[in-house]
Structure 1
């Protein structure tokens, strides 16, 4: 039981870090790179400011 809870916690932390890295990589992209992805600065701003617990 304790091992399962510990693994779930570690997985939550891993996912949170992964999402954080992705958000900041998006924020560092140029306008041209964003256009290649089909995203705008306003969408990036939304991603950066939404609560971390949201998917």
Structure 2
């Protein structure tokens, strides 16, 4: 999921350089949504593992 965020961020930057403001704005918005979704899922995963009593796998 974080990979998709980076892809949309790169698309937004390239589109912004070439002046496609509509595409750049849309790609940046999608990248922001996916990034925050990734953060939320990360926090949920950490909380679930904390309540199960499992530590991080090293």
The answer to whether the superposition gives a TM-score over 0.5 is: yes
- Compare the two structures and name the one with the higher helix fraction: 2
Gaps in structure 2 of 5+ consecutive residues: 1-20
User: After TM superposition, which residue ranges in structure 1, 4 or more long, deviate above 3 angstroms?
Assistant: none
Gaps in structure 1 of 5+ consecutive residues: 38-55
RMSD between superposed Cα atoms in Å: 1.6
**TM-score normalised to the size of structure 1?**
0.56
Residue 10 of structure 2 is aligned to residue 15 of structure 1: no
Q: Offset of 1:17 from its aligned partner?
A: 0.3
**TM-score normalised to the size of structure 2?**
0.53
